[in-house]
A and B are shown apart, each in its own frame.
Chain A
Amino acid sequence: MNVGLEHYLVVSALLFALGLLGVIVRRNLLVIYMSLELMLNAANLALVAFSRFNHNLDGQVMVFFIITVAAAEVAVGLALIVALYRKRETAHVEDLTTMKF
């Protein structure tokens, strides 16, 4: 079987959809976070695939940027979640409704 661009893209789309589903339905902040990472990496996969099939490195360069930014984001996000947990003793989104009208 010959693996083509569309296979990569389908996998990427499935990963993205899975991540999105996780973000929407899960209630635990940490899991939502992990799902977000999954979505980022789905995008990364698509970019790498494009890069390979288009024979240029633009997509890979982009991926490096995304990994870097994601790492920073994870650091900040996890720090926020830890701080929130310490303050509220919970990491569930239902309990974090202070800003709701």
Chain B
Amino acid sequence: MTGIFPWLILFLPLLAAAGITLFALDHRAVSARLSIGAVVISFALSVALFVHGTRGETRFNWISLSDGAASWIVDIGLRLDPLSLMMLLVVTGVGSAIHIYSYGYMHDDPGVGRYFAGLSLFTFSMLGIVLATNFLMLFIFWELVGVSSWLLIGFWFERPAAADAAKKAFLTNRVGDFGFLLGIILVWAVLGTMDFGQLQKMMAANPALIGNSTIGIAGFLIFCGAAGKSAQFPLHVWLPDAMEGPTPVSALIHAATMVAAGVYMLCRVHFMLAADALEFIAWIGGITALLAALMAIQQNDIKRILAYSTLSQLGYMVMTVGLSGVGGNPSAAMFHLTTHAFFKALLFLGAGSVILALHHEQDIWKMGGLSKKMPVTFWTFMIATLALCGVPPFSGFFSKDEILATAQRTSPALFALGVAVAGLTTFYMFRLIFVAFTGPVKSQLPDHAHESPAVITLPLVALAVPSLLAGFWGIDRFYASQFGTGEAEAATGWVAQLTAPFAHAPGAAFGGLAAVVIGFLAAFALYWNKVQDPLPAMLGVVARWLRDRFYFDELYAKLIAATQDALATLADFVDRWLIAGLFVKGTHGSVELTGRLLRLVQTGNLQTYSLMFVAGVAVLLLFMLIR
């Protein structure tokens, strides 16, 4: 009976997307119901699978080619293990909240049908990544996520900024995906299979394989794909621009799907990442976390602050994957991914609620005093903020503490970096809170703001619960069972669970807490009751660099423009001089010249012809006689 559940979970959203596209594109209520229904049923089925504790794979042969000894078999299969089961819950659970919220948020938009079709397609693609049993299937859904993100980020395509952001996201991802595809091909060429289960068995049977340099290179290339999807430096530029999409889409992209795909994939293939690759991954993650946190402190758009915060937290997760070491346990990354999915979705949905109340104003310096006008939004937003900052007992505290503890064990430099990022996180989040929600009103807009309707606040409350409590649910131990390393005994009781991190790795826990306190105090000192940002005056040019995101976009634009110009010049030369000049005109010219020369022979005089004829015969005769 449960055999069909995974297939249903995967394909219900696709059916909804197809149904909406074919029949209900113009029916708002029908399309919303189809899409929401599909994802909620998927969620219910996921819960059933989770409770039932199903493990294993279902699969069928998709491509089966054999050529004597060599055979090539690609399955379409669904894999259920702790990793994918929990991700299923996250994707469909957070997805459900976002779908329902979308119904309220997008209610007045004329393209609701198209929106929900895209949302369902996105869910379907992400579920495919979660359930995939082999690299090829993963890659197919990987690309589907890219396509559906393009559709959704560019949902308001009539706005040039949105259309550009969609293209940017798609193309930046393409850069990473190219490396990913090369990595997959390399793995297949060297090991002869793309199936995760078989690969893992191979690695387990032959541990020397992981030191193989080709496998090492494949690991780097595969990380390229993760860097694209999870927006790691230097491919991070697309993610803040993806804010041009509708806010629930941002929530979906930033929390449960898309950016999670990269980290999830890294954990999925963690068994074949070599030590060099892991160290590289750790540093890329750390750099991303720090850069993004720095950029976030000078952004003024509420969604952009959250976007850079996502980047920074993703950096944390990727760093943890890297730090876990060969054959280690990256479950802390997945744990943070899960808690982050809850509170980041909540943050985005809360921001969406604010944006809706302020008639699409996103500048935090035009807000203020919203905590009284929108209490539900404010308090849920506050819970998510505390979770993001890592304040005990919120869920983020536990996951961030595990990350810091991992870093403390393995790399002091990255541990210091992690603590600094934790401080910065608290600083920019409370800057947002103090400026947008408390403090004086900074424009007329908040005067008319009022709390959003229940269809919007209910998902907020629903997400606030796991944001608050997910740390107590043993998610980390559940993930750890995937990687087969013995974790410490689970503490029983709420208090024991809460104090366990302090007993377990006091340096990490107290370090993280100290960073939070310092960040909070700094934010309080600088932004409490302020009407304009004091930082630019204090930091001068540094603040401008932060606000302008270290000029990465400009640098890339210049680089790409220069490269394209060079390529275009080269192509122009080849086309103009080689192809058009030498080949086309050369052929034409030589044929014409020959023709003109031969025309002289055609005098039209019979006697000339006969003379030539005789001359020809004479030559032939001579030739014959001399031989």
Contact = CB atoms under 8 A, between A and B. Distances in A.
A74 interface: no
B614 A24 contact: yes
B607 A100 contact: no
B605 interface: yes
Interface in A7-49: 20, 23-25, 32
Given A20-B614, A24-B611, A24-B614, A101 B606 contact: no
B602 interface: yes
Contact of B605 (A20, A23, A25, A100): A100
Interface string B599-627: 10011111100110010000000000000
Given A23-B607, A24-B607, A93-B607, A101 B614 contact: no
A48 B606 CA distance: 30
A97 B606 CA distance: 10
A38 to B, nearest CB: 14
A32 to B, nearest CB: 8
A56 to B, nearest CB: 25
A23 B604 contact: no
Contacts of B599: 101
A3 interface: no
A99 interface: yes
B352 to A, nearest CB: 82
A96 to B, nearest CB: 8
A24 B606 CA distance: 9
A42 to B, nearest CB: 14
A93 B614 contact: no
Contacts of B605: 93, 97, 100
B280 to A, nearest CB: 75
Binding site secondary structure of chain B: helix
A101 B607 CA distance: 16
A91 B99 CA distance: 101
Nearest to B614: A20
Contacts of B607: 23-25, 32, 93
A88 to B, nearest CB: 15
Binding site secondary structure of chain A: helix
A25 B608 CA distance: 9
Contacts of B604: 97, 99-101
A97 B603 CA distance: 9
A39 to B, nearest CB: 11
Contacts of B602: 100-101
Contacts of A32: 607
Contacts of A101: 599, 602, 604
A20 B603 CA distance: 19
A80 to B, nearest CB: 13
Contact of B603 (A23, A24, A25, A100): A100
Nearest to B608: A24
A21 to B, nearest CB: 10
Nearest to B603: A100
Interface in B569-613: 599, 602-607, 610-611
Contacts of B611: 24
A23 B612 CA distance: 12
Contacts of A100: 602-605
B599 to A, nearest CB: 6
B604 to A, nearest CB: 3
B606 A93 contact: yes
A36 to B, nearest CB: 10
Contacts of B606: 93
A6 to B, nearest CB: 16
Contacts of B610: 20, 23-24
Interface in B321-380: none
A34 to B, nearest CB: 15
A100 B609 CA distance: 12
A93 to B, nearest CB: 6
Nearest to B605: A93
Nearest to A17: B614
Nearest to B617: A20
Contacts of A97: 604-605
B136 to A, nearest CB: 66
Interface in B241-282: none
A101 B605 CA distance: 11
A32 B607 CA distance: 9
A46 B610 CA distance: 22
A32 B605 CA distance: 13
Interface of A: 20, 23-25, 32, 93, 97, 99-101
Given A25-B607, A32-B607, 19 more contacts: A20-B614, A23-B607, A23-B610, A24-B607, A24-B610, A24-B611, A24-B614, A93-B605, A93-B606, A93-B607, A97-B604, A97-B605, A99-B604, A100-B602, A100-B603, A100-B604, A101-B599, A101-B602, A101-B604
Interface of B: 599, 602-607, 610-611, 614
List the 4 closest A-B pairs by CB distance, nearest first: A100-B604, A24-B611, A24-B607, A97-B604
10 contacts: A20-B610, A20-B614, A23-B607, A23-B610, A24-B607, A24-B611, A97-B604, A101-B599, A101-B602, A101-B604
